[in-house]
Amino acid sequence: CIFVNDVADATALRRLYDRGTRVLFLRCAGFDMVDLEAAKELNMPVVRVPAYSPYAVAEHAAALMMTLNRKTHRAFNRTREQNFRLTGLLGFDMNGKTVGIIGTGNIGSIFARICKGFGCRVLAHDVAENPEALSYGVEYVPLEEIWKEADIISLHCPLFPSTKHVINEDSIKHMKDGVMIINTSRGALINTEALVEGIKSNKISSVGLDVFEGEQGYFYSDRSGEIIANDMLARLFTFPNVVITGHQAFFTQEALDNIARTTIDNIVAYIANDPLVNEVK
């Protein structure tokens, strides 16, 4: 059983196969870390946990959004030092703001519902419209309109070649001045160098990241007291308007219970030679 930041490339799969492994169970929804072609050549089924708590991730995205808006991360540190000045803590009303959501599966549609609860206008882009999102009053538009209209952009799409670096130098150039960007999906949806330049130029007012391109080797490990060799990650830590969490958006009791149950169900189905309903095709 592997998790989101484990490596399952062709070399790793061949070594597993040579040591007797005949099926690969994922304890996560994403499978971009698996070389599916290599797995297919080895006749090794890849079975995942397609959903464990969309509420957990959507709520974490909302938490990042509100932290950045009301600057509670800065206020927390400030008041602990008995500094109660409000300078630099100005936020804005969420009511009436436009939120752009890229990807409206379970997580994206729940995040849309949360934003509608704040009184936001919600624009969305996806390859297919989600009836549930439509029922919340979500407006489906081209990406170009999201860049142009959104005060806040939140990413909730999977990582495919077509979505890699969907946030890039060109898309940032077309965004509203002072846009907020949230990513709780996959790190490589954002070109980090372009993101840093957007922050430095004040085009981007704030960024909330639960994922980062190149997070492997950092997230889920204690690197305190060490030098961060990844220049982009180190640079992001220098910005007071950037909040980074270590791929913890999923991390709720309910999600862990669902991951465990679904993984066990997948294993039992394989042993019983039953259909693998969660197999990645």
73 and 46 share one domain = no
Confidence band for 104, pLDDT divided at 50, 70 and 90:
very high
- Shared domain check, 27 and 92: no
Beta bridge partners of 24: 46
End-to-end CA distance of the chain: 18
Q: State whether 171 and 240 are in the same domain.
A: yes
Mean local confidence (pLDDT), 84-92: 98
Q: Is residue 137 part of a domain?
A: yes
Contact between residue 218 and residue 230 where contact means Cβ atoms under 8 Å apart: yes
Between 281 and 12, where is the model more confident?
A: 12
- For residue 169, the one-letter residue type is E
Burial of 107 (0-12, 13-18, 19+ CB in 10 A): buried
Give the number of residues written for the chain.
281
Domain co-membership, 149 together with 23? no
Residue 145 placed within a domain:
yes
- Which one of 27, 48, 125, 247 is the catalytic residue? 247
pLDDT reported for residue 86: 98
Tell me, what's the pLDDT at 75? 98
**Domain co-membership, 226 together with 111:** yes
> What are the angstrom distances between the C-alpha of 196 and each of 116, 167, 175, 193, 203?
29, 12, 15, 5, 10
Q: Would you say residue 266 lies in a domain? A: yes
Q: Per-residue pLDDT averaged across 79-91, rounded?
A: 98
For the cut 90, the answer to whether the pLDDT of residue 5 exceeds it is no
Asked about 226 being catalytic, the answer comes back as: no
As a whole-number percent, the residues of the chain with pLDDT over 90 amount to 95
Q: For residue 30, what pLDDT band results from cuts at 50, 70 and 90? A: confident
How far is residue 245 CA from its own chain's centroid? 11
Overall number of domains in the chain: 2
* 46, 59: one domain: no
Same domain, 154 and 263: no
pLDDT value at residue 147: 99
Do 150 and 224 lie in a common domain?
Answer: yes
The pLDDT value recorded for residue 170 is 98
| Amino acid present at 61 | A
Do 102 and 202 belong together in one domain? Answer: yes
Confidence of residue 216 (pLDDT cuts 50, 70, 90): confident
Task: Confirm whether 127 is domain-assigned.
Answer: yes
Averaged pLDDT for residues 117-142: 98
**The pLDDT of residue 153 is above 90:** yes
Q: In this structure, are 130 and 210 located in the same domain?
A: yes
Distance between CA atoms of 68 and 182, rounded to whole angstroms? Answer: 10
Instruction: Specify if 277 maps to a domain.
Output: no
CATH classification of the domain holding 136: 3.40.50.720
Closest CA to 25 of 269, 274, 273, 272: 269
Domain of residue 88: give its range.
Answer: 55-244
- In this structure, the answer to whether residues 45 and 86 fall within a common structural domain is no
Q: Does residue 94 lie in a domain region?
A: yes
Does any domain span residue 281?
A: no
**pLDDT tens for each residue of 173-197:** 999 999 999 999 999 999 999 999 9
Report yes or no on 67 lying in a domain.
yes
Catalytic residue among 186, 197, 226, 279: 186
Q: Which of 59, 60, 125, 215 is an active site residue?
A: 215
pLDDT of residue 226: 93
Instruction: Read off the pLDDT of residues 53-74 as tens digits, 9 standing for 90 and up.
Output: 999 999 999 999 999 999 999 9
- Catalytic annotation present for 73: no
Among the ranges given (146-155, 219-228, 264-273), the one the predictor scored with the smallest mean pLDDT: 219-228
| Strand (E) or helix (H) holding 267 | helix 253-271
Domain check: are 151 and 213 in the same one?
yes
- Per DSSP, 271 falls in state H
Q: Which pLDDT score is estimated for 146? A: 99
